[in-house]
Amino acid sequence: MDHYSCFIDNEWVEASSGNRVEVEDPANGKVWASVPDCTNEDADRALESSHLAQKTWALLPPVERAGYLYKIAEGLRAEREHFATLLVREQGKTLEEAGFEVDDTVRYITYAAEAARRLKGDVLPSDAANEQLFIFKVPYGVTIGLCAYNYPLALIGRKIGPALVTGNTMVLKPHEATPVTASEFCRLVEKAGLPKGVINMVTGKGIGLATRLVSSPVTRLVTLTGSIAAGQGVAKAASQNLAALSLELGGKAPFIVLRDSNIDEAVEAAVIARYANCGQVCICAETVLVEEAIADEFTDKLLKRAAVVRPGDPMQNAGMGPLTTKAAEIRVAGLVEESVKQGAEIALGGGRPGGSGFEAGNWMNPTVLVNANRNTVTVREEIFGPVLPVVRVADYDEALDIANERPDGLSAYLWTKNPTIYMDAVQRLETGTIFLNKGIVGYIQGYHNGHKLSGLGGEDGEHGIEGYLQKRTVYMRYSA
């Protein structure tokens, strides 16, 4: 078994309790690594380290801070294969997908570093003579990065890049199921020579450790990628000290296909957007809403294309790996079972794959449900797994109504050749991201955010970087 440590004040440390958390391989259920199960005392040490480092770090020129980020990115690029293998072992995505995640992480960090010369404020005219009005943008201070298990490395890059280039320090807390890549990432931090305390990292199970980090008076901003329930818990814990929040939470992306769409292209996009990373992507296609006039043709082609996606050993198979946790497998299987009781039918997949290699681990077949409706549980709740319910709708208006009646709004897909409809969707579809005649994608220069219960703030691009800065207004009188 491989043993990994936490990273506090540029030192590799164990939990003060001496306890550890075991890490399982999602493909076979075997324990292959362990990390410290940190205590509140360990969290306080990390916070104090980040607090002491932040003032000096913020005074460095942005391009100097960026230099450290470039070194981390170079380290990741040089060890692409190593980090990809770690991602497969602890998260379960295919080796190809894991390599792409390493590449994305490099891009996130590099983009943030490149922004060092583009950080800017405002100069405004004063109402009085011999005066000037400035609005500076300054760091918050100590930030907390809470990462989900679906992209354990990319989410680190997505958070630490903007946080550090803007002069903040950060305490990272990875998900308990996927902490190994975070520990190895900090090895690159050490190698890059960052001043002590700029990045700290603690690991542990349960919500107690995260609550301690979030509720501390030292913490001035919290960035979380996780479920809606997790976001609500973080908001409550941060409320006493009114820490700023950036919450990228769950969603239930509708995949709307209208009669004038290119059906073949829409099918291909739907399959990729559902079964990528075993369906564990916050902007995955969660429900197909297909217009009745083309529903038969679309569904037939969808079933044939989805049948090509094969689960298998993620180190060897380019199809689909397992779900990351056993709890996820049980939950998703339960949603399918309940949907069938409600009248939906399994048209493809369902259950675990059989045969050699699937005796253990968190496996599930790529699944398509038909005869679902707006009240089916897999249509109401976020699945976050390889299950795609298909709902027939009369027209665009019904699809829009189903999409907008939800309390969340992270992303949506719309396939149509009618410019009037997709311009209407831009105005009325209540989500943070809309993919118009486009499959799943996320460009670093864009902006990733949710509406309604899908979150506060956002990440990526210049708007994401600005989220790590607060404003300071200065009224300057320069002559008596």
Contacts of residue 478, Cβ cutoff 8 Å, sequence gap at least 6: 130, 131, 132
Cα Dmax for the chain? 86
Active site residue 337: no
Q: What is the pTM of this model?
A: 0.97
Strands (E), 301-396: 345-348, 367-372, 387-393
Q: Which residues does the chain have with pLDDT short of 50?
A: none
pLDDT tens string 375-410: 999 999 999 999 999 999 999 999 999 999 999 999
Catalytic, out of 248, 286, 329, 466:
248
The CA–CA distances, whole Å, from 326 to 44, 153, 304, 333, 341 equal 31, 21, 28, 11, 23
d(CA 396, CA 420): 11
pLDDT the model gives residue 317:
86
d(CA 126, CA 141): 29
Active site residue 248: yes
pLDDT tens string 28-78: 999 999 999 999 999 999 999 999 999 999 999 999 999 999 999 999 999
Catalytic, out of 97, 282, 284, 459:
282
Going by C-alpha positions, the residue among 290, 432, 457, 305 that lies closest to residue 371 is 290
d(CA 203, CA 183): 9
pLDDT the model gives residue 318:
83
Residue pair 445/460 in contact (Cβ under 8 Å)? The answer is: yes
Q: Which helix H or strand E contains 400, and what residues bound it?
A: helix 396-404
